[in-house]
Structure 1
């Protein structure tokens, strides 16, 4: 499997591995992906990281604001379904609406009682259980209203920041993705249309609501990202009591712990010889010259690029931000203006020609042509021999760190902590299925094809499936709460500078 990618969170490219203590979750796809993204030792470069749900107490308000940023069209349609189920269709259209009232004012914008009720219905569609007593219901409403106020505070701050731009095109692109995602959950177009009309009257009305929701999400995301980049949103370490409170509030919602494994490894990658590198560079230089004379980038990428995934798309890499690509590629890409071609850029994956297509605050859309040097059979055998030598040395008691410094691929992490076995790439799963003991394992070939990699793996811990304990998730709780508290601190500062009137 090709490790041309690196994780979107800055870890190293190994099966859910990290050079720090947090483990990454790899994909097991088999297509060759050579865009220089940071990712696991798999062939695809966009691993997801799933965090436990945020606590409804302590840092809850900012946690729910962050959660709101993730809402998509499916959530709105779920709200519509819940709303529609509350009354017959005819009643919805003929019943007289009560006179609305203002329940809060943020700046010069009101929040209406009807908006609060809609948010409550939505939260119920997402699993919120309203208390049966009136005092409990009122407390929930007040908490939801506070969340809506915090969301509005972030939106207004983003709108005041002249550096934050949200274009109509990106909003419509996000709406279209949401519509298609929701549509995929229905067996027919007619059933989909019926559900939308039941909740919103027309598809156009639903799209307008989606567009406004997406615009607000993007504004909040960019505000928080900008604050983080400027160092104005620094994590605040939670206390042990806060972490325990979070655990008690959420432990009943957590799934069982999957079977997990911890290990360390040294991954050895065959390197091209000097002749192969020179040929690849010469080809990259000639292609760059052709592009500068007006050749079509997409056609050249499809014909010559070694990245089979992006090549099929004319070299398209999509949108990415700083920290998602290897350093040399990232520096070159973020220095370009739209339409500009980079010089030939060398990374561990080969030689890249980059063209930026669009630029937004903190992210760019780009495409590439990758020319990877050919790896000879002799170089593959040399890497295999090195892996065998490392294995023998570790078995004889040699220091792991010293061997890693000498032999390990710098794009590969050396440590994986509590990685779910089911999410590991196939070679690791096969190894663990055949051998349940800890300790040093036989040399593992990670990929077949012209550029295999070899891993010397030592299993340090293995746990079967079971209930999660506090110690299993305390690092994730600490990370979640640290971010929550940072956002809460920022919201407290904004609240002091903004007129906020709660009338509920």
Structure 2
């Protein structure tokens, strides 16, 4: 079952274009009152091939097995009154469409070359399938919800693993940061807004917005493209920017707006369905050395509180840090592989922030750095940060002392899979199930075939 949702990440795309298939359709599977058509299998196999995988007819066996599992879950979800929010369906569809667009290059190319229809029509077509997938996922979660593993179960799981099968972990570290940015004065903000007001007036007087964006915008990514951002959907931009962008009519220029990046004026270029394309000019307030010195002094205060044991590092991060992501986790970096704080492989940390790797290379475990000049990666804001080198583990095979949370997670995953497999066996015995004889040779669907005899 673990594969069902990973293999079906792009299944909606295949479903959206399945009408193009010219094969004669037939029912190849039935679970209670739910049917699976040959075209359902073929459309997902088409997507498998489209992802440049080698032809392999046996993949259809895997696809049918996963569709049978999905229908079994869906049947039980209806009986148990499991629901899914409409907003969740919308979000899932939008995320998948954005993924498809990123793969092919543009919405226009997606519509013309792959979908053969508009994105809006595609959304309507795939909505029932997305609903089914999310209902099945929610049902799967309900089956295993509340399951836990005791320390004894974790140890038993670990003890049964052959030594040469234990995973090898490279050097890993626990690292935190406290970030402080200068606070712009009212005068500095007013100056930035005045610059944009003047540029807006020039546009209204007839000057080309794109030319002014190229000359004056402090967003280098869009400035080189005459300020043009490209098509985006709701939820992709910061809220103040997005709210204004979706209200503008093509050609209209917004008043000055403020976001966490600075101040903007926006010109609408085009609206297509639930996407808009705009240009913008960004001006950031300029701060003086006085504001920089104040930010550095704030971090010196944080160091004082930590060293005098008036605050832990985590408490100081909550009190002083301007970085929302790390502040919410007590200043500690999260491992992107699991979304939790703790040990992070050194190479993973390097992908996150190579500068941090260079900094801790000069530090001892347990040490707190002095305030270090810092420019944020996403917002290109200048400030300072403290780095806390909490711990380090050397390369090793997994063991209970160093890797208990990981082993606990693996033990829980195995237990949940066992619970789910037992549920499937029980429910399969209760439901009417029929599988087409063409799939009789498939190892994956043998349990379903036995039921259908």
Quote how far apart the aligned CAs of 1:451 are: 5.1
- Inter-partner Cα distance in structure 1 for 2:232 and 2:254: 17
Instruction: Give the aligned partner of residue 351 of structure 1.
Output: 263
> 1:467/1:407 Cα in 2 relative to 1: closer, same or farther (>3 Å)?
same
- Inter-partner Cα distance in structure 1 for 2:386 and 2:56: 50
> 1:462/1:171 Cα in 2 relative to 1: closer, same or farther (>3 Å)?
closer
> 1:143/1:338 Cα in 2 relative to 1: closer, same or farther (>3 Å)?
farther
Question: What SS does structure 1 have at the residue aligned with 2:178?
Answer: strand
Is residue 144 from structure 1 mapped to residue 66 from structure 2 by the alignment? yes
Choose between structure 1 and 2: higher helix proportion: 2
Quote how far apart the aligned CAs of 1:454 are: 0.9
Is residue 103 from structure 1 mapped to residue 103 from structure 2 by the alignment? no
- Contact 2:360 2:389 survives alignment (8 Å): no
Quote how far apart the aligned CAs of 1:65 are: 3.8
- Larger gyration radius, structure 1 or structure 2: 2
- Inter-partner Cα distance in structure 2 for 1:173 and 1:379: 40
Is residue 239 from structure 1 mapped to residue 156 from structure 2 by the alignment? no
Which sections of structure 2, spanning at least 5 residues, go unmatched?
Answer: 14-22, 76-85, 107-111, 334-340, 420-431, 437-453
> 1:224/1:375 Cα in 2 relative to 1: closer, same or farther (>3 Å)?
farther
Partner residue of 2:357 out of 429, 453, 456: 429
Is residue 440 from structure 1 mapped to residue 368 from structure 2 by the alignment? yes
> 1:439/1:149 Cα in 2 relative to 1: closer, same or farther (>3 Å)?
same
- Inter-partner Cα distance in structure 2 for 1:151 and 1:365: 40
> 1:355/1:115 Cα in 2 relative to 1: closer, same or farther (>3 Å)?
same
Quote how far apart the aligned CAs of 1:130 are: 11
Instruction: Give the aligned partner of residue 503 of structure 1.
Output: 435
* Length-normalised TM-score, structure 1: 0.52
Instruction: Give the aligned partner of residue 69 of structure 1.
Output: 9
Is residue 408 from structure 1 mapped to residue 348 from structure 2 by the alignment? no
Quote how far apart the aligned CAs of 1:371 are: 0.9
> 1:220/1:125 Cα in 2 relative to 1: closer, same or farther (>3 Å)?
farther
- Contact 1:116 1:144 survives alignment (8 Å): no
Task: Kindly report which structure 2 residues correspond to 1:218-233, keeping only aligned pairs within 5 A, or say none.
Answer: 219=127
Provide, for residues 362-408 of structure 1, a one-character-per-residue CA deviation record: whole Å limited to 9, x for no partner.
x7555432110112233323323332332233222231466445532
- Contact 2:189 2:285 survives alignment (8 Å): yes
Instruction: Give the aligned partner of residue 38 of structure 2.
Output: 112
Instruction: Give the aligned partner of residue 459 of structure 1.
Output: 389
Task: Kindly report which structure 2 residues correspond to 1:174-253, keeping only aligned pairs within 5 A, or say none.
Answer: 178=103, 207=114, 219=127, 237=145, 239-240=147-148
- Inter-partner Cα distance in structure 2 for 1:221 and 1:294: 49
Backbone CA RMSD of aligned residues: 6.2
Quote how far apart the aligned CAs of 1:258 are: 4.8
Instruction: Give the aligned partner of residue 285 of structure 1.
Output: 197
> 1:288/1:173 Cα in 2 relative to 1: closer, same or farther (>3 Å)?
same
Instruction: Give the aligned partner of residue 425 of structure 2.
Output: none
> 1:371/1:223 Cα in 2 relative to 1: closer, same or farther (>3 Å)?
farther
Quote how far apart the aligned CAs of 1:125 are: 8.7
- Contact 1:444 1:454 survives alignment (8 Å): yes
* Length-normalised TM-score, structure 2: 0.57
- Inter-partner Cα distance in structure 1 for 2:133 and 2:248: 22
Task: Kindly report which structure 2 residues correspond to 1:451-490, keeping only aligned pairs within 5 A, or say none.
Answer: 452-466=382-396, 471-472=405-406
Which sections of structure 1, spanning at least 5 residues, go unmatched?
Answer: 1-55, 74-96, 132-136, 154-160, 182-204, 486-499
Is residue 380 from structure 1 mapped to residue 308 from structure 2 by the alignment? no
Across the two proteins, how many residue pairs are aligned to each other? 364
- Inter-partner Cα distance in structure 2 for 1:312 and 1:385: 37
- Inter-partner Cα distance in structure 2 for 1:114 and 1:448: 47
* Greater mean deviation of Cα atoms: 336-345 or 279-288: 336-345
- Inter-partner Cα distance in structure 2 for 1:360 and 1:225: 25
- Inter-partner Cα distance in structure 2 for 1:360 and 1:72: 19
- Inter-partner Cα distance in structure 2 for 1:318 and 1:145: 34
- Inter-partner Cα distance in structure 2 for 1:316 and 1:114: 37
Quote how far apart the aligned CAs of 1:428 are: 0.4
